[in-house]
Structure 1
Amino acid sequence: MTRKFTKNAVILLTAFTIIEVSPLPIVQLVQPAAAENNFLNALFGVNARKRRQAEKKRREEALRQQPKKPAPRIRGARYKTYIADKLVTAKLDQIVDPVTTSAVSHNENIATTAQANSTAKTDPFALGFETLSSLNLKTLPEVSEALVTHYSSSPSYRWVNENGPTKQALALHKALQEAYMVGLPNENYTVDLPNAAVLATGESAWSDYMRFEMELSAAILTYMVDASRGLISPKKISGYHDFKRKKLDLDKALFKAALSDNPTEFLHSFNPSGEHFLALKSELAELLGAEEKERITIAPDTFLKPGKSSPEMRNIVASIRLKGSEELKTNYAFELNTYRGDDLYTPELVTLVKAFQKENNLSDDGIIGRKTIRAMVEDSNAVKIEKVKLAMERARWLPGKLADRRVFINQPAYNVTYYENNKSKLSMRVVVGKKSNQTNFFDDEIEKVEFNPYWGVPQSIITNEMLPKLRADPSYLDRLGYEVSYNGRRSSSSSIDWYSLNSTRAVGVRQPPGRKNALGELKILFPNAHAIYMHDTPAKKLFGRDTRAFSHGCVRLQDPRAMAAAVLGTDLNSIEGHIAPRKNKTVFVDKPIPVHVSYFTAWPNDAGAIEYFDDVYGRDKALQKAFATTIKSRTAS
């Protein structure tokens, strides 16, 4: 059979023959054929890809043949087993003897035996002084020091007289037993009143008076410390908490308490005084006095899409009947009244659910998941009480009164609010850190806004995420357009032996400004040890989700231009003017603005009503454990 060859086949065979025998460069030989047809161009393109693939395989094989060693890794902060503040035995025996003190002659600085004996017989404090050496009073070190300083400088009773406890003492004693009303464990401030039987018989009671005096003063001082700075040391919980503990002049505070016309009010003044704390206090009082409300439960693992079926459908509808607004129930009366308890998630019910989601500021996608169920199923009073108490403790780590102009980020709410004159002026959704890259809890001050920013890649990302890719493909960062430095000098990523690195500390990586930049158009900076700031992002879709824990720790803003305008005290046109040239630029704020990167699962909204949120990082549990450890330590002592 005669075989016929096409013109292209003849050209191809001829080219192969010439290539085989000719010393000339391939490009010169194939040009005539390429002019006839693009077939050879495609052929050699395939060969080029094959060569690249072969080179990649040789590189991977070379890596496999090198000695195996674990890749370096930077770990995030960890949660710790909480250790309560150590209590000490108060050194009451170091209080200066009042007999010796009062017997000292101011002119000659000589004490006489006669003066000492006279003082011992008449001074009530001296009558109970011997009791001090036998008192085993366990307290905080700073409280012990304050007791010695206070009573040495002024050796007299504050809380008792010849008739027993003073009115101020009884008022303070009662206030300490109501510490739970401000979220503190009142069992930590328990003091027994003087023995009533001894008072009734008229026997000498100065020893018991001295015991009561010291214990009440210690309890008052301990309350002052706990109310102002918190019962818990936040840094002992985890590295994600960053607060310095507040210090008080306890000696001075005890004098003021004794001289106050309203000692109870004075004691309460050591709690935070801001509107946020007053709202939490009011909510706690209401919850403690309220009966448990009607609650409908929905299986927590329920996940329901339109058209699917679930036995939880009847509970879902019942929850909307219970928790939906009157307007919602009026507008969707048909959907509610025609439902007959079926399991099918019908189009009519989808419409109803979407309306409920919108009313509760959720994504109105009709999908019933964890966030929607949370809105439908209210926390029990017991759960709310616990969240409010934890919120009051965390509020003590912040300034007692928040600045009138401030930025407040609440991670569990996935929200940031800008305040002016203590009023909310701007609020928006945020994306915070993943559970493996949690956003820290701390205070700082906003100093500047950087437009068209560079992204300096954190060492944790270089080590944990980029290094494995660079070991497989050293040109990875070059191809993506990142700028790389090694030991302070600019370098290409392909020129670095990534496999031999035991640490990436000598490596710097940054992404230039541009549309693909991870920080978008701008970042708002409050320089801190955690390298956390607020910024724009190209990943806009994430703001549509109800749960928004996706970042490496920084706070992504839904409307970064509006926030930049707020902190700079300007308008959006001005912000556009900074961005439009597409050049890196920094603008400083006129005056640093306090920013609170906070974590509250209970917090008041603009109207002062307390809202409750999921414990996204499990920090409520960690704080509860710290509370239990501390209370046990205190009561045992």
Structure 2
Amino acid sequence: MKMKTTTAIVALAVAGAIGMSSAPVGAATLLDFLKGNKAAQRPQQPFAGSLDDDTSAFPDPAAPARPLPKVTGPTYNAYKADALRWIAASKFASSSQSASAAAIEQPEATGSIQTISGPASFDAGAEPRAFMADVKVRAPSEVATAIEKYYATHQGLVWVDANGVSQKARDAMAALADAGSDGLDPADYAVTDPDGAMTDADPAARQKRLMQFEIEMSAAVLTYVQDAQRGRIDPNRISGYYDFKRKTVNLDAALTNVALSGDVKAYLVSRNPQNAQYQALKAELARLKAVDGEQEARVDVAPGTLIKPGDVNPELANVVAAIRQRGSDKLKLDHSLTLASYQGGADYAPEIVELVKAYQTENGLKGDGVVGRGTVRVLSGGDSHSAKINKLVVAMEQMRWLPKDLGPRFVFINQPAFKAYYYNEGREQFEMKVVVGSKANQTYFFQDEIEVVEFNPYWGVPRSIIVNEMLPKLRQDPSYLDRLGYETSVGGQQMSSTDIDWSTTDSVDVRQPPGSDNALGQLKIMFPNSHAIYMHDTPQKKFFGRDMRALSHGCVRLVDPKKMAAAVLNMSVADVDQQIATGKNHQVKVPEKFPVYVSYFTAFPNKDGAVEYFDDVYDRDMYLGRALDATRKARHGQG
């Protein structure tokens, strides 16, 4: 057979990134490769170098192979916070006199100048804005621009009236001081009441202080409005694992609305998300802040503890003590003899194993008797009081990146919970276990729309798997994919994997035809996105039995894909089975597109509104916390 060499550089057509365990070099099938099935290995003939079309069917041993490439995912960045800039308040002072005169003498020629009537208006004859020449206030760029635009087109004041600080200003200050109830930092919006500092009788000094207060209040209020609606940070600057178009907040309208509002406090509070999930987080934050976090004595099992049946480990005493403290009355009654007879020994005896298994099952863990990371976390009562508050603050920040209303129908995937939830008519209909990306192959955080379900799918092998995991094998045995029945092509031209010189080429399209061993199983649910992430079936069911399920290459595996497919297609599971039974690869569009939120929340309410807490499997809360800290320092002139 004539052998071909190719060095084509063609972008890999990626149909998705799914999770597989690391593979041995000599696996007999790709499924064995993906499962790490050593029993199926068999020796292969070595292959190296390139093949000469004209002179020989054997590779030239002198031809060096190109060094193995590596495909890497996004990294985490040192967060660059939004810079503040000075508000050009002197322009308001220089233009106030002429604008006022023009409005009096030629009102028909000054349509762009508006007067806010009511107690917030200052006596035009006093010209208080003439005292803005010395005002010094910094604010985020969008806020500064909105303030400059507002005061250039409105004569009146918003926060100062003829008596000084207005009641509206005091109401707004009270709302800003309570920003912590919405997970924001009140220090970001703190403005000093100038009335308390005015001890002199100099009218000019008083006017200057009031004008400084006027602009400071507008800056604080607009900063709050912007933070409440879109969040304090831009998640895309943290890492490429976030994919959100940052919201644009209409600050011009906001300041006008505030000026006209009869209840400024209600207006400001309403800028925060109003969906049920956010409100549950807010209520939980208030509850935790109202109690003393140190009241309850904690029994902690040492982090990193691993105890298997038959082991001897001194931490076993803390394990049993924690079960005594946190186990249900029924569990303690069922195992009362074991609990009564235990004397603090380190031997992990069978009766203690059964006690631990019962506690694991009671807490939604796999009842295997192995005291590992998940069990230790539950035994220790989960997160500390302060850690829970931090997780709530992070969760409330992240909720601001999502739509204010999540919609009546949506799928919500929460990666740290390893769960997918289907909502319809605003209520959770069901949840199911999922497998998400490993820490080395993280699932992204983004939102999209579910569009189609593909039955009996092809698996387009992701470039990361080809390059990082398969290429070393293919350089030894280029016939590997041919034997497995995989399709390979370069530049749209299908060819045998044996005919490809893998020592110089890695940009090749590889796909697995539908079948019982297909890595995507019987179906996939697609919401086309630039990350090639979707929900799908899998032949590897064993992973759903684990508590920690960050195990894939990035896509989301469903424990019950037929149930999810039936829900999104508005059909029965029997109808789904009929679609699969054709054995043919085909797609069915959903009757109507609706949102899917591929999210990352370490604190989130369940369907009953009770907030649950989860491990930060990717350390994203840590990076987000650093971004919030960088923003705080930028706003307060630190660092």
TM over 0.5: yes
- Aligned-partner Cα distance in 1 for 2:361–2:178: 41
Do 2:48 and 2:475's aligned partners in 1 also have CA atoms closer than 8 Å? no
Q: Choose from 39, 46, 49 the match for 1:56.
A: 46
**1:318 partnered with 2:315:** no
Shift in Å at residue 350 of structure 1? Answer: 1.2
Query: Structure 2 length as normaliser, TM-score?
Result: 0.86
**1:99 partnered with 2:97:** yes
Partner of 1:294: 297
The DSSP-based 3-state class of the residue aligned with 1:155 is coil
Do 1:98 and 1:125's aligned partners in 2 also have CA atoms closer than 8 Å? no
**1:128 partnered with 2:128:** yes
Do 1:304 and 1:367's aligned partners in 2 also have CA atoms closer than 8 Å? yes
Shift in Å at residue 612 of structure 1? Answer: 0.8
Measured against aligned partners, the alpha-carbon deviations of 1:88-132 in whole angstroms (never above 9, x if no partner) come to: 11122344722211212437859xxxxxxxxxxx84596332333
Shift in Å at residue 248 of structure 1? Answer: 1.5
Change beyond 3 A, Cα 1:490–1:157: same
Percent same amino acid at aligned positions? 48
- Aligned-partner Cα distance in 2 for 1:520–1:540: 10
Change beyond 3 A, Cα 1:133–1:464: farther
**1:223 partnered with 2:229:** no
Q: Choose from 374, 378, 393 the match for 2:397.
A: 393
Do 1:426 and 1:563's aligned partners in 2 also have CA atoms closer than 8 Å? no
Do 1:99 and 1:126's aligned partners in 2 also have CA atoms closer than 8 Å? no
Shift in Å at residue 177 of structure 1? Answer: 1.6
Do 2:451 and 2:526's aligned partners in 1 also have CA atoms closer than 8 Å? yes
The DSSP-based 3-state class of the residue aligned with 1:258 is helix
| Residue segments in structure 1 that go unaligned for 5+ positions in a row | 1-51, 111-121
Change beyond 3 A, Cα 1:306–1:54: closer
Query: Structure 1 length as normaliser, TM-score?
Result: 0.86
Measured against aligned partners, the alpha-carbon deviations of 1:557-602 in whole angstroms (never above 9, x if no partner) come to: 0000000011111111000000011111111111112100000111
- Aligned-partner Cα distance in 2 for 1:164–1:58: 85
Partner of 1:39: none
Measured against aligned partners, the alpha-carbon deviations of 1:239-277 in whole angstroms (never above 9, x if no partner) come to: 000011111211211122232222111101111111111
- Aligned-partner Cα distance in 1 for 2:161–2:107: 31
Higher percent of residues as helix:
1
Measured against aligned partners, the alpha-carbon deviations of 1:111-156 in whole angstroms (never above 9, x if no partner) come to: xxxxxxxxxxx84596332333322211111111110111111121
- Aligned-partner Cα distance in 2 for 1:144–1:396: 22
Measured against aligned partners, the alpha-carbon deviations of 1:200-231 in whole angstroms (never above 9, x if no partner) come to: 84845221111111000100000010111011
RMSD: 2.1
Q: What is the correspondence of 1:33-44 to structure 2 with a 5 Å cutoff?
A: none
- What letter corresponds to residue 206 of structure 1 in structure 2? Q
Shift in Å at residue 424 of structure 1? Answer: 1.2
Do 1:521 and 1:579's aligned partners in 2 also have CA atoms closer than 8 Å? yes
Partner of 2:608: 607
The DSSP-based 3-state class of the residue aligned with 2:302 is coil
- Aligned-partner Cα distance in 1 for 2:632–2:551: 36
Q: What is the correspondence of 1:438-457 to structure 2 with a 5 Å cutoff?
A: 438-457=442-461
Shift in Å at residue 348 of structure 1? Answer: 1.3
**Which region of structure 1 is more displaced relative to structure 2, 375-384 or 101-110?**
101-110
Partner of 2:176: 176
Change beyond 3 A, Cα 1:348–1:203: same
Measured against aligned partners, the alpha-carbon deviations of 1:527-582 in whole angstroms (never above 9, x if no partner) come to: 00000000000000000001111111000000000000111111110000000111
Measured against aligned partners, the alpha-carbon deviations of 1:16-45 in whole angstroms (never above 9, x if no partner) come to: xxxxxxxxxxxxxxxxxxxxxxxxxxxxxx
- What letter corresponds to residue 342 of structure 1 in structure 2? G
Partner of 2:527: 526
The DSSP-based 3-state class of the residue aligned with 2:303 is coil
**Which region of structure 1 is more displaced relative to structure 2, 351-360 or 324-333?**
324-333
- Aligned-partner Cα distance in 1 for 2:297–2:546: 29
Measured against aligned partners, the alpha-carbon deviations of 1:316-340 in whole angstroms (never above 9, x if no partner) come to: 1111122122222222222222222
- What letter corresponds to residue 285 of structure 2 in structure 1? L
- Aligned-partner Cα distance in 1 for 2:126–2:452: 62
**1:487 partnered with 2:494:** no
- What letter corresponds to residue 546 of structure 1 in structure 2? D
Shift in Å at residue 63 of structure 1? Answer: 7.2
The DSSP-based 3-state class of the residue aligned with 1:340 is coil
- Aligned-partner Cα distance in 2 for 1:53–1:302: 40
Q: What is the correspondence of 1:59-138 to structure 2 with a 5 Å cutoff?
A: 65-67=62-64, 69-95=66-92, 97-104=95-102, 105-106=105-106, 123=123, 127-138=127-138
Do 1:183 and 1:392's aligned partners in 2 also have CA atoms closer than 8 Å? yes
Do 1:125 and 1:156's aligned partners in 2 also have CA atoms closer than 8 Å? no
Partner of 1:348: 351
Partner of 1:497: 501
The DSSP-based 3-state class of the residue aligned with 2:440 is helix
The DSSP-based 3-state class of the residue aligned with 1:498 is coil
Shift in Å at residue 58 of structure 1? Answer: 7.8
Q: Choose from 378, 381, 387 the match for 2:385.
A: 381
- Aligned-partner Cα distance in 1 for 2:552–2:590: 26
Q: Choose from 444, 457, 462 the match for 1:458.
A: 462
Shift in Å at residue 290 of structure 1? Answer: 1.1
- Aligned-partner Cα distance in 1 for 2:289–2:387: 12
- Aligned-partner Cα distance in 2 for 1:239–1:340: 52
Partner of 1:154: 154
The DSSP-based 3-state class of the residue aligned with 2:360 is helix
**Which region of structure 1 is more displaced relative to structure 2, 303-312 or 520-529?**
303-312
Do 1:408 and 1:595's aligned partners in 2 also have CA atoms closer than 8 Å? yes
The DSSP-based 3-state class of the residue aligned with 2:194 is coil
Shift in Å at residue 196 of structure 1? Answer: 2.8
Partner of 1:15: none
- Aligned-partner Cα distance in 2 for 1:595–1:325: 36
Bigger Rg, structure 1 or 2 = 1
- Aligned-partner Cα distance in 2 for 1:621–1:231: 16
Do 1:98 and 1:126's aligned partners in 2 also have CA atoms closer than 8 Å? no
Change beyond 3 A, Cα 1:569–1:54: closer
Partner of 2:54: none
- What letter corresponds to residue 565 of structure 2 in structure 1? A
- What letter corresponds to residue 82 of structure 1 in structure 2? Y
Measured against aligned partners, the alpha-carbon deviations of 1:278-307 in whole angstroms (never above 9, x if no partner) come to: 111111111112112221111111111112
- Aligned-partner Cα distance in 2 for 1:53–1:279: 58
Shift in Å at residue 59 of structure 1? Answer: 7.0
Do 1:260 and 1:266's aligned partners in 2 also have CA atoms closer than 8 Å? yes
Q: What is the correspondence of 1:178-197 to structure 2 with a 5 Å cutoff?
A: 178-197=178-197
Measured against aligned partners, the alpha-carbon deviations of 1:386-437 in whole angstroms (never above 9, x if no partner) come to: 1111111111111112112110000001010101112111111100001111
Change beyond 3 A, Cα 1:53–1:381: closer
Partner of 2:275: 274
- Aligned-partner Cα distance in 1 for 2:223–2:525: 40
Partner of 1:255: 256
The DSSP-based 3-state class of the residue aligned with 1:103 is helix
Partner of 1:47: none
- Aligned-partner Cα distance in 1 for 2:162–2:65: 82
Do 2:411 and 2:596's aligned partners in 1 also have CA atoms closer than 8 Å? yes
- Aligned-partner Cα distance in 1 for 2:97–2:329: 75
- Aligned-partner Cα distance in 2 for 1:149–1:226: 20
- Aligned-partner Cα distance in 2 for 1:462–1:631: 43
Partner of 1:631: 632
Shift in Å at residue 70 of structure 1? Answer: 2.1
- What letter corresponds to residue 542 of structure 2 in structure 1? K
| Runs of 4+, deviation exceeding 6 Å | 57-61
- Aligned-partner Cα distance in 2 for 1:178–1:129: 30
| Residue segments in structure 2 that go unaligned for 5+ positions in a row | 1-41, 51-57, 111-121
Measured against aligned partners, the alpha-carbon deviations of 1:28-73 in whole angstroms (never above 9, x if no partner) come to: xxxxxxxxxxxxxxxxxxxxxxxx9896378799576323542222
- Aligned-partner Cα distance in 1 for 2:137–2:226: 17
The DSSP-based 3-state class of the residue aligned with 2:597 is strand
The DSSP-based 3-state class of the residue aligned with 1:431 is strand
- What letter corresponds to residue 101 of structure 1 in structure 2? A
- Aligned-partner Cα distance in 1 for 2:347–2:197: 73
Change beyond 3 A, Cα 1:476–1:154: same
Partner of 1:20: none
